[in-house]
Amino acid sequence: MPDLWLVYAVVLLALAFDYINGFHDTANAIATSVSTRALAPQHAVWLAATLNFLGALMSTGVAKTIGGDIVKSAQLIDQPVIISALVGAIFWNLLTWLLGIPSSSSHALVGGVMGAVIAGRGFAALKVGGIEKIILSLVLSPVIALITGYFVMIALLWVFGRFGPTFLNTGFKRMQLLSASLMAFSHGSNDAQKAMGIITLALLAAGQLPSLEVPTWVKLACALSMGLGTAAGGWKIIKTMGTRIFRMEPINGFAADLNSSLVIFAATFLHLPVSTTHVVSGSIMGVGSAKRVTAVRWSTAQQMVFAWLLTIPASGATSALTYLLIKWLFL
């Protein structure tokens, strides 16, 4: 049986990842409502924090996908591999947060696990079919969000287009309280489960669990960590998400949040991990395109896509180097 202090280290790092994920991805839930002045920033942050916590307690299907579909068997890995995976994901999240780039925590975690497993156990330990399913959901979700966001915005314009700007702005500022709440709850329902899956995988590998079932204390700890992280805010990324892709009015913000939450809820129901950052960005681009294609700042979108493409290999390389360093120093 491995040293328990290594298991404790995994738990602490996974909770740190969830906390960082919370303030890194706060923008997903509240950028639109803050940018349209539907909600004051501090009120929006605390709303998002509360609903992120509640959403994280919703289910464990995504956690089981993360814990069971990247590695063939928990017996093939050990705690140093998982520690290295989390270090790589945390490093990339902090770097992109400092630079104000809305990258994907989900991509960072998946890349981190893959890099550490390859360095520690080789390619043969990876579950190729599961990884293909996870990456496909990560890639397709923002495309789906862009398309459905376009049609949601078209539908709202068709229904409400005859009303004056004052009526629309006032009404949809109020409606954004609902859409931001749905977005925050859906974010917690998908993103917090990723750390749950990693902790459960570590406990299973250490012989502390008989099967890949998420303990209640893990659910509560991850939900609390994400909620506290969300409360800390992520103002650099909020600015990018809220203003630099497309300058939104309240009806646009409502459409983007509603569409994003529906896409994320569908993924959670199907036990698929998605990047909420990607989904929200795709929704904003789709909503902006419904107004006119030139309304979207595609140069900002290109920078974000580049960061997304870089995330998995960058976090994977960082995790692999971390594992090699740990092996050289301690193993």
At 329, list the tokens: 């120093």
Whether residue 330 is contained in a domain is answered as no
Domain-embedded: residue 23: yes
Q: How confident is the model at residue 249 (pLDDT cuts 50, 70, 90)?
A: confident
Within a domain: residue 190? yes
Is the residue at 331 inside a domain? no
Q: Hey, what's the torsion of the CAs at 265, 294, 30, 223, to 10 degrees?
A: 40
Question: What does the alpha-carbon distance between residue 15 and residue 158 come to, in Å, rounded to a whole number?
Answer: 45
Residue 197: inside a domain, yes or no?
A: yes
Task: With a cut of 60, say whether residue 239 has pLDDT above it.
Answer: no
* In a domain? residue 86: yes
pLDDT tens track for 119-176: 999 999 999 999 999 999 988 998 999 999 999 999 999 999 888 888 888 899 889 8
- The 10s digit of each residue's pLDDT in 80-104 is 999 999 999 999 888 877 876 667 8
Query: Which residue has better confidence, 326 or 231?
Result: 326
User: 264: which 2 tokens?
Assistant: 């994320």
Total domains, the chain: 1
How far, in Å, CA of 160 to CA of 169, rounded?
A: 11
For residue 195, count other CB atoms closer than 10 A to its CB: 31
Residue 26 has pLDDT above 70, yes or no: no
Asked if residue 272 lies in contact with residue 70, where contact means CB atoms within 8 angstroms, the answer is: no
| Percent of the chain surpassing pLDDT 70 | 91
In a domain, 329, yes or no: no
Q: Where are the alpha helices (DSSP H) in 164-275?
A: 165-205, 216-232, 235-239, 250-269
Residue listed under structure tokens 């250490």:
206
Structural domain containing residue 38:
4-324
In a domain, 167, yes or no: yes
Indicate the pLDDT class of residue 291, thresholds 50, 70 and 90: confident
The predicted model gives 99-121 an average pLDDT of 87
